[in-house]
Amino acid sequence: MTLATLLAVGSLGAGLAAWGGARGGAAARFGAVAGALALLVVLALALAMDAGRVGDASAASQTGAFFDGRIVPTDYVRLVVALWALDSVLVVVVAWLLGGLVALRGLLPATLAAIVGGTTALGATSLTLGVLAAAATGLSALVVVMASERPSAIPTAARELRAALGTGALLLGAIAIAPVAGALALGEGSAGFDDGAGTLAASASGEAGAVLGLAALGIVLAVGVRLGAIPFHLRVPRLTDVEPPVASPLLLGWLPLPLAVAGLAALDRLVAPLALPLDGERAIIVAFALVSLAAAALAAFLADDLRHAVGYLVIADGGLVLLGLAALDPAAWGPTRVWLVGLAASKTALAAWAAVAEARFETRSLPDLRGWIRRAPILAAGLLLAVVATFGLPGWIVFGARGDLARLAAGAPWDAVLVVAGFLTLPAYLRLLAIGAGPPSSPVARAAPERIMRRQRPQEALPVELERSAAAMGGDAARDTAAPAGRGDADTTAGRATTRRLALRRGAAAASFGQRLAAALRRDRAELTSAAVLALAILAALTSWGALDIGGAASEPAPIVSGPASD
């Protein structure tokens, strides 16, 4: 019941957050609180999820059947959903500190809806259900984009809609063709024929092998488009121009994960076990990955726009996912899923750093961010740790996954080339750090520095408190002016005492605990947002290291027990 409750709470929270954000006012506050509470409950349920073994009937019976498949909890589902929810809690806090309720209008419902869709895709026992859920998860980007008031929001939303529906349709078509082509390629049904029929069967088998190769390429193409791999990358920088920067962790880091896992599961179930000679297809996929790795790394290094640089860094690391698909080997199942989680965690930290840096220094131009490290040392620690999490260290599970993916995708000496290509983004990260170490630019110098050592700041009142205070003072003055001259001093004193008591009560109600807390948090937003980025980077580093047995969870079999042929 834990998994079913998680899906129900996430769906309800997404609906309430979307409803409140659309209405505004008190409804927006209610929707934000409901969505935030739902996100915390989802996190608690994910941590408490009892993951059974794949194929366990008791686990499979926890949810209803959809498309002849069920949604079952596994260790991988539990780990991914818990990390996703925990990252999302920190991102939502950053968004609220930077932009208030307005920043949560699209982000909060999209996050909850994406977690529900991603959980369904990762836990589906049917390939069809998994692909449909993964494609629907991509539609969460529309919620974020349409919350923007920019004129380019509509064409951007149209591109995201085409990407989500197109990749889903392509993946569904490929997994529908692959079982039939695989059966024909293996020559099933050809036994017992004479020589002439055997020759025809052999010819048909060769053609079926080519069709199976095309199906495999279709699966890789769908995943590549979702990742924004080059040459399908143009939608990524255009998306970053429209969506709020604080939404990038969701849109760039987490949304591609469910579809990538679904595509990997399709290859692992329908293509890899056949062990057919698909060397040509593998070479095409490896070339696709290599171009994406090298070109995106170069674009990230040359970009002067912070948002675009982050987008290209995500695309470059997504090229390693394509290497896992290029292997067409069951041995790539575990390393690829490890890398997908590490990619999402590290890029969440990177994108959150970029969002905070842009808001703090009021610029997205990298040359204008010169000297940012001196004003934001906590933020700098977050970026540095995110870089370490991206590449890993010897002995870390993500570092090992890099080498495994290169080795499985291509033999020597090409595996060494692929390993080097995976580190081509390092100069772009070093450039970000080098820019921050220079003398402060004008935008950076104007920003308030982070306070490592706390000093008492003067108490700041919220705007609503200032308005109410002014109104109360104006009311007192009006009453004093209108007081009858013939009344005694006792009546005047009593009236003023009553007025003061009423004012004190109103002031106490206005300065509630929540408002005082909000004022304190907003006052220290620079330090708190940097601390949140650092926390995200620490989570990414722990994931890269292999905490919570991510390697074992990623290597467990997929819960899929039915494919399109049996659906």
Instruction: Evaluate if residue 483 carries a pLDDT over 50.
Output: no
| The pLDDT of residue 388 | 98
Asked, as a colleague might, if the bond just before 439 is cis with ω within 30 of 0, I would say no
- The span from the first CA to the last CA of the chain, in angstroms, equals 25
> What is the rounded distance in angstroms from the CA atom of residue 418 to the CA atom of residue 414?
6
How confident is residue 548, by pLDDT bands cut at 50, 70 and 90?
confident
- Can you tell me the distance from the alpha carbon of 406 to that of 311, in angstroms, rounded to the nearest whole number? 23
State the pLDDT at residue 200.
44
Reading the block at residue 375, the tokens are 């004003």
Give the three-class secondary structure for 233.
coil
Domain ranges of the chain: 1-138
Average pLDDT over the chain reads 86
Element (H, E) at 552: helix 550-555
Binned at pLDDT 50, 70 and 90, residue 479 comes out as: very low
Per-residue pLDDT at 538: 98
Query: Which of 104, 94, 103 is CA-nearest to residue 38?
Result: 104
- Report pLDDT for 209: 79
**Banded pLDDT at 462 (limits 50, 70, 90):** very low
Higher pLDDT, 451 or 52: 451
Of residues 264 and 151, which shows the higher confidence score? Answer: 264
Which pLDDT belongs to residue 50?
Answer: 84
Confidence of residue 53 (pLDDT cuts 50, 70, 90): low
For residue 567, pLDDT over 50 is answered with no
- Band (pLDDT 50/70/90 cuts) for residue 325 is very high
Mean pLDDT of 278-290: 94
Residue 494 confidence class, pLDDT cut points 50, 70, 90: low
pLDDT reported for residue 477: 45
pLDDT digits (tens, 9 = 90+) for 326-361: 999 999 999 999 999 999 999 999 999 999 999 999
Burial bucket for residue 210 (CB in 10 Å: 0-12, 13-18, 19+): middle
On the question of pLDDT at 478 being above 50, the answer is no
Within 10 angstroms of residue 58's Cβ, the number of other Cβ atoms is 10
Radius of gyration of the chain (CA): 28
pLDDT number for residue 461: 47
pLDDT for the residue 497 = 59
Per-residue pLDDT band for 498 (boundaries 50, 70, 90) equals low
The residue with greater pLDDT, 152 or 298, is 298
pLDDT at 70: 86
Alpha helices by DSSP H, 100-152: 101-123, 127-138, 140-146
Beta bridge partners of 365: 305
Q: Global pTM? A: 0.86
Q: What is the mean pLDDT of residues 195-214?
A: 64
Copy the structure tokens of residue 29: 């506050």
Nearest to 451 by CA among 385, 379, 371, 359: 379
pLDDT in the model for residue 69: 61
- The angle at the Cα of 156, spanning 153 to 161, to the nearest 5 degrees, equals 120
Q: Amino acid identity, residue 557?
A: P
Reduced to 3 states, what is the DSSP secondary structure of residue 1? Answer: coil
pLDDT at residue 412 tops 60: yes
Q: What is the pLDDT of residue 420?
A: 96
- CA 256 to the chain's CA centroid: 8
So what's the pLDDT on residue 486?
46
**HSE-up of 374 (CA within 13 Å, CB side)?**
15
pLDDT for res 134: 97
**pLDDT greater at residue 503 or residue 162:** 162
Task: Give the mean model confidence (pLDDT) for residues 370-388.
Answer: 96
- In this structure, of 79-83, 188-192, 368-372, the range with the lowest mean pLDDT score is 188-192
Q: Give the pLDDT score at 66.
A: 52
Gap between the Cα atoms of 175 and 171, Å rounded = 6
